[in-house]
Structure 1
Amino acid sequence: MKINWGTGIVLAFIGFIAFIMYFIITMNVNDKYDHDLVTEDYYAEELAYQKDIDKLKNAKNLSQNITYKKTEEGLIIMFPSNIDYKKITGKMFLYRPSNKQLDFETTISLSNPHLLIPDSRLVDGRWNIKIDWQYNGNSYLFKESIDY
């Protein structure tokens, strides 16, 4: 059977449409490609963003800021050594951009100048860490993207 140029164009269009439909169906059905919004209350958080900017500015004015390091036990968050760690309060939030179920929040309660996040809680990959902490009536914020 001989295929003329008109039949070839129609077959090319059908092949292209089939490829696009396969791509669309795969992206909608497969959970691997499912990504959620960063937060559910986007607009409420947007209104509180100026407070976060002020907290970040306070943290930059510290002589020492929060540092972290990865160890075999997990991720160690070290608070500034020049302040009394017993007076530190606040919350820490770890956000996993690729999987909402891995996100977690914990209250800061220190018995030594560092906080250990166990290795069992963290999956390898990118994490966004946000530590909102208070010391002597001042609020501070530490935000960082880390690869664990």
Structure 2
Amino acid sequence: MFLAGSAVFIVFAVRQPVNLVHKNYYEKGVDHTEQMNVNARSKPFARSFDVNLNNEALVISIENELATKIDSGNMQLYRPSDYTKDIKHEVLAGNNSIQFPKSELIAGRYILKFTWYTNGLRYEVDRPVNIQ
């Protein structure tokens, strides 16, 4: 009886989906020093954009001073509970507004990950976002 119960549990456990924080979770942890440098470089820009939810979309407004410095970048709404629900938009140089249509969003917690490059240096700011 014990062996049968153990076998059933093992089959059950193997069939469960594994949702790591990121698809490449282990690779992201390798270069921790570089990430610390990016975080330190990005800290002054933590409040350089506003996040507002209206009836049609989640609108991110980037201050003009920062928007003019961006060479390229992206904004990702990362869903910690299910990475398959992540949404990503490209940020073009000089663009100071990004919209995520409300129809693509699910109620709950997201993390807005704003990553951009200026003069070959990477910057990254994260901000929690709750969709209701």
The question of a shared fold, defined as TM-score above 0.5 by the shorter chain, is answered with yes
What's the counterpart of residue 19 of structure 2? 36
Amino acid of the structure 2 residue aligned with 1:67:
D
Q: Does 1:81 align with 2:81?
A: no
- From 43, 46, 52, the equivalent of 1:60 is 43
Q: Per-residue deviation at 1:39?
A: 1.8
Identify the structure with bigger relative contact order (alpha carbons < 8 Å, sequence gap 6+).
Answer: 2
Bigger helix fraction: 1
Comparing 37-46 and 54-63, the one that deviates more: 54-63
Three-state SS of the structure 2 residue aligned to 1:61 is: helix
CA distance in 2, matches of 1:48, 1:138: 15
Q: Secondary structure at the match of 1:83?
A: helix
Moved over 6 A (4+): none
User: Does the C-alpha gap of structure 1 residues 61 and 74 become closer, same or farther in structure 2, counting only changes over 3 Å?
Assistant: same
| CA–CA distance in structure 1, aligned partners of residues 104 and 93 of structure 2 | 18
Does the alignment pair 1:117 with 2:100?
A: yes
Q: Does 1:96 align with 2:79?
A: yes
CA distance, structure 1, for counterparts of residue 70 and residue 111 of structure 2: 25
Counterpart of 2:121 in structure 1 is 138
Q: 1:64 to 1:101 in 2, by over 3 A?
A: closer
- Cα offset, 1:109, TM superposition: 2.5
Match of 1:147 in 2: 130
Residues 1:69 and 2:69 aligned together: no
Q: Which runs of 5+ in 2 are unaligned?
A: none
SS of residue matched to 2:64: coil
The one-character-per-residue Cα deviations of 1:67-95 (angstroms, maximum 9, x if unpaired) are 21111221111212223448441122222
State the AA in 1 paired with 2:98: L
* Contact 1:59-1:65 at 8 Å conserved across structures: no
TM-score, normalised to structure 1's length?
Answer: 0.65
Greater Rg over alpha carbons, structure:
1
Percent of pairs with identical residues: 23
Pairs aligned (count): 122
